Amino acid sequence: MLQFILTTILMASLGTMLYLVARSLPRVGEEVSDKKNFLDRLASSEIPEKIDTAFNGFLLKYLRKLKVVLLKIDNFITEKLKKISSDSNLKHFGNTSKPKIDLKDINGDYAQESTKKDSSSDVKE
């Protein structure tokens, strides 16, 4: 709610400023000058478009080369990480990896125990 109030006050003040500027515009005299300064001539010429085209071409080539270099660096780092984490390197420092758990054995043992319990409960009844 506070944000709404602050936004409303901001918009009202901007509207007031715009109204005051619009009221004072007729007082300002319009000076017609045939002289164009350097920035006006530059903005109306074709030079900014040529600079933009040249910059876009350079940027396109540069970004593509940068992408290739970054991908090469990524591949290099990935290969180094694979070498570090490979099992052959772990053997030099002692095999510290935990043995893999065989879930089939665990589930099989549990299934056998549950069938034994079911059969023993049938016998008791």
> Residues 75-104: pLDDT tens digits?
999 999 888 887 555 555 555 556 567 677
Is the distance from CB of 96 to CB of 90 less than 8 angstroms?
Answer: yes
Tokens of 25: 């515009």
- Write the pLDDT tens digit of every residue in 24-77: 877 656 666 677 788 888 888 888 899 999 999 999 999 999 999 999 999 999
Greatest alpha-carbon span in the chain: 114
Domain residue extents for the chain: 59-93
Q: How many CB atoms lie within 10 A of CB 88?
A: 7
Contact between residue 86 and residue 79 where contact means Cβ atoms under 8 Å apart: no
Helix (H, G, I), strand (E, B) or coil at 98: coil
